[in-house]
Amino acid sequence: MGNDARPQAGIRGLETRSIDYVPLAERHGVVWHQGPFWFTGGFVLPSMLIGFIGPSMGLGLIWSIIGVVTGMAFGTLFMALHANQGPRLGLPQMIQSRAQFGARGAMFPMAVAIFIYVGYNVFYFILSTEAIDTVVPGGKIWYVLFGLLAVGIAIVGHDLLHVFQRWSSFIILVVFAVLTVVVIVKYAAAGAPPRATGWAFTPFLVQFAAAGGYQISYAIYVSDYSRYLPEDAPVKKLIGWTFIGGLAGAGWLACLGSLFATYVAASDPIVAMHEVGNLVFPGFGIIAVLASVPPMIGTSGVNAYGAMLTGATIADGIRHVRPGVRTRVLGLLIVGVATIVVSVAIPDNYLNAFNTFLGVMVYLLVPWTAVNLVDFYLVRRGHYSVTDIVDPRGAYGQWSARGLTAYFAGFLAMVPFFSLSFYLGPVTRALGGADLSFVVGLLVSGLLYWLISRQRAGQSFPAEIAADPTRVTT
What does the mean pLDDT of the chain come to? 87
Query: What is the rounded radius of gyration, in angstroms, for the C-alpha atoms of the chain?
Result: 22
Most confident of 140-154, 186-200, 445-459: 140-154
Q: Which residues of 324-336 are buried (b: 16+ CB within 10 A; e: fewer)?
A: eeebbbebbeebb
At 234, give phi and psi (nearest 5°).
-55, 125
Q: What is the pLDDT of residue 465?
A: 39
Q: What is the pLDDT of residue 184?
A: 92
pLDDT confidence band for 435 (50 / 70 / 90)? confident
Q: What is the pLDDT of residue 227?
A: 94
**pLDDT tens track for 148-181:** 999 999 999 999 999 999 888 888 888 999 999 9
CA distance 16 to 419: 43
Average pLDDT, integer, range 256-260 = 93
**pLDDT tens track for 186-202:** 888 777 888 878 888 88
pLDDT confidence band for 469 (50 / 70 / 90)? very low
pLDDT surpasses 60 at 322 = yes
Asked if residues 367 and 406 have their Cβ atoms less than 8 Å apart, the reply is yes
At 424, give phi and psi (nearest 5°).
-120, 115
CA distance 316 to 390: 9
Average pLDDT, integer, range 454-466 = 51
Of 119, 128, 170, which is closest to residue 149 (Cα–Cα)? 128
pTM of the model: 0.88
Q: What is the pLDDT of residue 353?
A: 66
Burial class (CB in 10 A: 0-12, 13-18, 19+), 283: exposed
pLDDT surpasses 50 at 471 = no
